C-alpha cells in the first residue's frame, strides 16, 4: 500500500513540474499580433506591428525578446533598408515593433517570432504589397544614382 502511495505522489510531483515548465513560454494559440491593415503598406513611412505574448495558461509573458522580419516573396527592397526589428515585451506581455521607413517595390510578409525561449514562430501576416521605389523628397534620377552606389 505504501508503494502505491509513493508512486502516486511521485506521479503528481512530476506532473506539477511539467506544468510549471510551460509557464512563461509563449504559446502561439494564446498570443495575438496586430499587423498593419493590408494589402498595401504605406510608404515611405513607418510600419509597425504589435504583439501580445501569453503562455499555455493565458498568463502574459513579460521580458521576452521578440523579432519581426520582412520576408520578401517577390521583388526587392532598398538594399539599405532595415529588414528586422527587435523589442522586449513589457509586464503585460505587449510589444510594438516599428520599421522607421520602408522603401522598395516588393511583395512581402511579416514574420513575428519570440526568441526568449528558443525561436518560436508566433504569427505570420498575409502578403503585403510595397510599392515605394524612391523617397518622395528626392527626385528619381538622384535616387537611382544613390541606389547604384550601394550595389
Q: What is the pLDDT along the chain (151 residues), one digit of tens a residue?
A: 666 565 455 545 444 433 333 458 999 999 999 988 777 777 777 888 999 999 999 999 999 999 998 877 777 666 556 578 899 999 999 999 988 777 677 788 889 999 988 899 999 998 888 777 555 554 445 445 444 554 4
Q: How far is CA 66 from CA 9, 49, 56, 74, in A?
A: 38, 11, 18, 25
Q: Give Cβ neighbours of residue 75 (< 8 Å, ≥ 6 apart).
A: 104, 105, 106, 107, 130
Q: State the DSSP code for 49.
A: E
- The whole-model pTM stands at 0.67
**Cell representation of residue 112:** 513575428
Q: Which domains does the chain have, with CATH numbers?
A: 24-150 (2.60.40.10)
Ramachandran bin of 108, using left for φ above 0, alpha for ψ from -120 to 50, beta for the remaining angles: beta
Amino acid at each position: 500500500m505504501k508503494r502505491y502511495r509513493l508512486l502516486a505522489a511521485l506521479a503528481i510531483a512530476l506532473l506539477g513540474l511539467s506544468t510549471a515548465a510551460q509557464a512563461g513560454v509563449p504559446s502561439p494559440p494564446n498570443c495575438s499580433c496586430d499587423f498593419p491593415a493590408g494589402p498595401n503598406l504605406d510608404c515611405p513611412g513607418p510600419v509597425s506591428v504589435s504583439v501580445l505574448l501569453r503562455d499555455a495558461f493565458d498568463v502574459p509573458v513579460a521580458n521576452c525578446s521578440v523579432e519581426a522580419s520582412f520576408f520578401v516573396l517577390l521583388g526587392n527592397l532598398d538594399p539599405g533598408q532595415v529588414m528586422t526589428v527587435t523589442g522586449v515585451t513589457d509586464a503585460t506581455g505587449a510589444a510594438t515593433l516599428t520599421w522607421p521607413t520602408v522603401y522598395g517595390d516588393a511583395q512581402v510578409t511579416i514574420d513575428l517570432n519570440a526568441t526568449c525561449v528558443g525561436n518560436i514562430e508566433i504569427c505570420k501576416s498575409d502578403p503585403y504589397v510595397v510599392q515605394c521605389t524612391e523617397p518622395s523628397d528626392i527626385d528619381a534620377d538622384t535616387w537611382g544614382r544613390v541606389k547604384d552606389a550601394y550595389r
